[in-house]
Structure 1
Amino acid sequence: MYNKVTIIPGLIIFVLLVTFPLWFNAFSTASTVPKVELPPGGEKQCVAPAAEMRASHMQMLNEWRDDVLRNGNRTTVTVEGKVYRKGLQMACMECHTNKEKFCDSCHEYASVTPYCWDCHLTPSLAASKKETH
């Protein structure tokens, strides 16, 4: 009898503590997936399909970076007749000009801090630097 009084509430507390992350995520509204806005101007085509870009854009950008910096190979990528030069600012940021809405919203959601911006300027900063020089 004495064991029932302590074991059953202990088991209930244990199960609640172990399953807390599941319950928290199920009822939390903070984990809504951000909606990426299409670039202005109606551009619909990218260097790869949207699903592929969502899943592996970081590998593609790393491959481009290595190819450009180590091999000096800034060859173009042609997709359905449109030509893109390899580079974050020469390809991606030409269409996706708003870093905060396009890049930052997903990176914050995924808790990722890319180091791209250690070297690259956002389009708005690049434009303001061109105006001052």
Structure 2
Amino acid sequence: MYDAGKIIPGIILFLAVFTFPLWSNMGQAVPPPNPELPKTETACVDPREVMKTSHMQLLNEWRDLVVRDGNRRWVGFNGREHIMSLQNNCMSCHSSKVKFCDQCHNYAGVTPYCWDCHIEPKENM
């Protein structure tokens, strides 16, 4: 081999730089989000476990029912009737987008498109 003295260290240096993001954070997990929850749970449309995993499906279903069918009434799991509205129903309890919505969405690395159509709530900092 002609320049083995330069090639082998070059390969080792390349592999070290290329794999640095993998081994530099090994064993360090990002802490889970800690969203600010509303004081009461009686007004929510579904139980907390269901809302954690399926709120986007629920909001998409609401969007279709309201926009396509003109239906604005939703009967929750507890039999209570709710208005299908992100701003007038959900955000009345979950009033801080930064302290509630963004906590989990940033952790999961998702960018929901809710605020493409809806007006983003003003934060009281």
TM score, norm. by length of structure 2: 0.71
Residue 59 of structure 1, aligned match among 57, 60, 71? 57
Q: How many residues align?
A: 123
SS in 1 for 2:49: helix
Task: Give 1:124 shift.
Answer: 2.6
Is residue 74–residue 82 contact of structure 2 (8 Å, CA) maintained in 1? yes
Is residue 46–residue 76 contact of structure 2 (8 Å, CA) maintained in 1? no
Q: Who is 1:106 aligned against?
A: 104
Q: Who is 1:32 aligned against?
A: 31
The alignment yields a C-alpha RMSD, in angstroms, of 3.2
2-structure distance, mates of 1:23, 1:48: 41
Is residue 47–residue 77 contact of structure 2 (8 Å, CA) maintained in 1? no
Residue 88 of structure 1, aligned match among 86, 89, 92? 86
- How is 1:10-21 mapped onto 2 (pairs within 5 angstroms)? none
- How is 1:34-53 mapped onto 2 (pairs within 5 angstroms)? 34-40=33-39, 42-53=40-51
> Hey, which of these two has a bigger chunk of helix by percent?
1
TM score, norm. by length of structure 1: 0.67
Percent identical pairs in the alignment equals 54
Unaligned stretches of 5+ residues in structure 1: 1-19, 126-133
Query: Aligned pair in 2 of structure 1 residues 67, 104: CA closer, same or farther (>3 Å)?
Result: same
Unaligned stretches of 5+ residues in structure 2: 1-19
1:55 maps to a residue whose letter is: T
Q: Who is 1:5 aligned against?
A: none
Is residue 84–residue 90 contact of structure 1 (8 Å, CA) maintained in 2? no
